[in-house]
Structure 1
Amino acid sequence: DATRQALDGVVVLLQFQPFESDSPAMSQFKADIRKAAGGKDVPLNMHMLTGYMSADLFLSIAAKAGKDLSVESFQKAAAGFSDTGTLVGDRAEPKGQKESFGCGALVRLTNGRYEVAVPFRCYPPIPFK
């Protein structure tokens, strides 16, 4: 209770779509996690989303590489890969190895629950130094 009260009103930057979002992509993520958990509702966390989106990126590049998947065809597909509208925003490789995807949302902790303060959106990326 003391921690909840101390953190009430705190705003957090997320570089992925908030779990509180009702987008089709977030609904699919939640359904897939529920299915993987044997039909149970489990607390969602950033590690689940990171793994989910890493697998999604791999499968998206593999699909672009085609049915004769090899190390070479995968690397070639990855070298020119991009997509938009994912739970982490717009992705591009190999640019994403040196720049963030430039997307984010703000959530505010209010009465023990997160609320979306600023919806998820992509902005021009700032290169890593």
Structure 2
Amino acid sequence: MLIVYFRYLHLTFLFLLLILVLLSCATTNNKYQKPPEWIFGNINSNRICYVGSSRPHIRGISYQRALAVSRAIEGIARQKNVSVNTWVEHYMSGTSESGSSFLKTYSIQTATNGKISAQIKETWLNRKTNELFILMCEE
């Protein structure tokens, strides 16, 4: 009799575990987030704009962001027939005594035949691919 009781208890436990797994899968947020229209070039602006993008970078989000910004500036420059040279620098330092570190990422861009002055208007991160999109428009 005790063996039958444990068998039913075991089956009940497995059944409850199965229901718990199914419910947890059903409640996850797997909704597809539709990209904004400006990613596809539908930009309502009378200024020169460009979308720069960057996939995840081994050095982190700050480097990824600097790369997307530099690509957007280069795109604006191409539309204005301005030549741009770009260098993206990455610097990290830290001490074991303080237990802290410092990370700095910056982009150096030099333009010939003109000046590019642009501002970030929108950013969007694709949660599925972690690709970062940045819309920049000329000031």
Q: Which interval holds the TM-score relative to the shorter structure? A: under 0.3
- Tell me the TM-score normalised to structure 1 length: 0.27
Larger strand proportion, structure 1 or 2?
A: 2
Q: Which has the higher contact order (CA 8 A, sep 6+)?
A: 1
